[in-house]
């Protein structure tokens, strides 16, 4: 089972450290750490579910509670786009409203000067980027 781990400090967290954190709950097949999140693959579903329940909210680093949940597959027929130079005053709802003028926005996250959006490919063919 693939587990999403959010609020990870990728500069200070190693795959080995995460594997050790998840190991008491079952066999860890692999760990991949990105900048602010990670994926942990566990062999047994039951162990993965125990890990999710036990480690969600766990502070791996002081003041950084982990978000631990089952990984969701990417929706089909979508594009993920990056938007840079986003004002600190801009909310995800404002950005979502801007992009929804051209099509369906599936998700929109604004983080420290940039945003990522997942858009339905259907209806967005008229965009010129």
**pTM for the full predicted model:** 0.63
Range 98-104 contact pairs with CB under 8 angstroms and sequence separation of 24 or more: 102/126, 102/127, 103/127
pLDDT band, residue 58 (cuts 50/70/90): very high
Contact criterion met (CB below 8 Å) for 35 and 7? no
70-104 pLDDT, tens digit per residue, is: 988 777 788 888 888 988 898 889 999 998 887 88
Provide the CB-side half-sphere exposure for 94 (13 A, CA). Answer: 8
Contact criterion met (CB below 8 Å) for 48 and 91? no
Is the model more confident about 124 or about 114? 114
pLDDT band, residue 128 (cuts 50/70/90): very low
33-55 pLDDT, tens digit per residue, is: 988 889 999 999 999 999 999 99
Report the length, in residues, of the chain.
129
DSSP state of 25: G
DSSP state of 23: G
């Amino acid at each position: 089972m693939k587990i999403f781990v959010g609020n990870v400090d990728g500069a200070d967290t190693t795959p080995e450290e995460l594997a050790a954190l998840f190991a008491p709950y079952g066999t860890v097949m692999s760990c991949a750490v990105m900048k602010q999140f990670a994926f942990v693959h566990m062999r047994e579903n039951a162990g993965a579910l125990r890990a999710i329940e036990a480690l969600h909210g766990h502070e791996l680093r002081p003041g950084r509670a982990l978000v631990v949940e089952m990984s969701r597959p990417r929706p089909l027929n979508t594009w993920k786009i990056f938007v840079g130079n986003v004002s600190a005053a801009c909310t995800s709802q404002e950005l979502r409203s801007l992009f929804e003028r051209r099509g369906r926005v599936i998700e929109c996250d604004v983080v420290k000067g940039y945003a990522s959006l997942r858009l339905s490919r259907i209806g967005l063919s008229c965009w010129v980027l």
